[in-house]
């Protein structure tokens, strides 16, 4: 699935930030901030998570799948609404929250490939005002990526999306699935194949699905075994190798930093400079001058 469709019933609230034009697949992340009001919607093909970011508790009337809840929502509180479940909310006070929508077809694929669970058996439980440190942590990482001026790493977002999907299936499904855990890392032949592919395509937009397909496994299991083998998640290893190539080009060529940025898979001079400084402690210009 390439993008997330509009809701069946539009809420009048417009997002402050949205990933809609960032090219993220299977997930839509939007930040909302507004005063007292109400809204209703039903997402036909997406499961929805709402994470409160409000600095002060907000009183809510919340109707989810025909069940009514009233409570104060505080920062870190989470609700989970399965696809096709209508919900209505009325809030009294300044609300601030992150909405994450995961494509139901993607969740079905994760259920089948990762958890060996038939997609037609997938059913999530509607959840009102709960605490989940893992969802909160992933949500804040996605928010941080959403706030970046540069496009960022699609591989990173896809990794977070996969971990979030598996967590939802394990913790919020009606029938708790079994997750097989593979240990020992990737076989050497497969690992070398993946590393060679990464090195040959550093200048391209590498997708987690493409890497997993190289060795014929699910994205979640691939990420898990890759980290066991290398000690880094795929997106961190890719970033490290892009910076290493930039260092070579800075020392061995007279290309401009803008040219080097594109040759190494960064989308701008500033994007390269930011990541380069995070990993090396200095800017590309300073590194070239040394």
Residues of the chain with CATH 2.60.120.10: 17-156
Residues of the chain with CATH 1.10.10.60: 241-289
Q: How confident is the model at residue 76 (pLDDT cuts 50, 70, 90)?
A: very high
Give the separation between CA 166 and CA 160, rounded to whole angstroms.
Answer: 10
Average pLDDT estimate for 202-215: 92
Give the separation between CA 100 and CA 87, rounded to whole angstroms.
Answer: 15
Residue with tokens 């609300």: 95
Give the side-chain half-sphere CA count within 13 A for 288: 17
Give the separation between CA 171 and CA 251, rounded to whole angstroms.
Answer: 50
Whose CA is closest to 205, among 281, 141, 150, 284? 150
Phi, psi for 95 (deg, rounded to 5): -105, 150
Average pLDDT estimate for 18-45: 91
The two most distant CA atoms of the chain are separated, in Å, by 66
119-150 pLDDT per residue, tens: 666 788 899 889 999 999 999 999 999 988 76
CATH fold label, 241-289: Arc Repressor Mutant, subunit A (1.10.10)
Whose CA is closest to 42, among 121, 98, 126? 126
pLDDT greater than 60 at residue 12: no
Phi, psi for 127 (deg, rounded to 5): -130, 130
249-282 pLDDT per residue, tens: 999 999 999 999 999 999 889 889 989 998 999 9
User: Which numeric CATH code is attached to 17-156?
Assistant: 2.60.120.10
């Amino acid at each position: 699935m390439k993008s997330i469709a509009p809701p069946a019933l539009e809420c009048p609230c417009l997002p402050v930030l949205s990933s809609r034009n960032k090219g993220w697949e299977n997930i839509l992340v939007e930040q909302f901030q507004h005063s007292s009001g109400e809204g209703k919607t039903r997402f036909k093909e997406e499961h929805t998570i709402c994470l409160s970011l409000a600095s002060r508790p907000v009183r809510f009337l919340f109707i989810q799948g025909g069940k009514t809840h009233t409570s104060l929502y505080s920062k870190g509180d989470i609700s989970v609404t399965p696809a096709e479940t209508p919900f209505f909310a009325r809030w009294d006070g300044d609300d601030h929250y992150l909405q994450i929508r995961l494509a139901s077809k993607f969740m079905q694929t994760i259920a089948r490939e990762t958890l060996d669970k038939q997609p037609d058996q997938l059913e999530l439980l509607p959840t009102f005002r709960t605490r989940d440190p893992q969802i909160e942590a992933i949500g804040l990482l996605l928010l941080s990526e959403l706030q970046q001026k540069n496009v960022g790493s699609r591989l990173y977002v896809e990794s977070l999306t996969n971990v979030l999907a598996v967590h939802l299936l394990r913790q919020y499904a009606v029938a708790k699935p079994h997750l097989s855990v593979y240990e020992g890392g990737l076989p050497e032949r497969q690992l070398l194949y993946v590393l060679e592919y990464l090195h040959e395509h550093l200048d391209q937009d590498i997708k987690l699905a493409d890497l997993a397909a190289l060795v014929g496994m699910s994205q979640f299991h691939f990420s898990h075994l890759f980290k066991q083998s290398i000690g880094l998640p795929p997106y961190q290893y890719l970033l490290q190798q892009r910076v290493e190539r930039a260092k070579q080009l800075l020392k061995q060529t007279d290309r401009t930093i803008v040219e080097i940025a594109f040759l190494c898979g960064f989308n701008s001079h500033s994007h390269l400079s930011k990541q380069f400084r995070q990993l090396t402690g200095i800017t590309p210009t300073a590194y070239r001058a040394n």
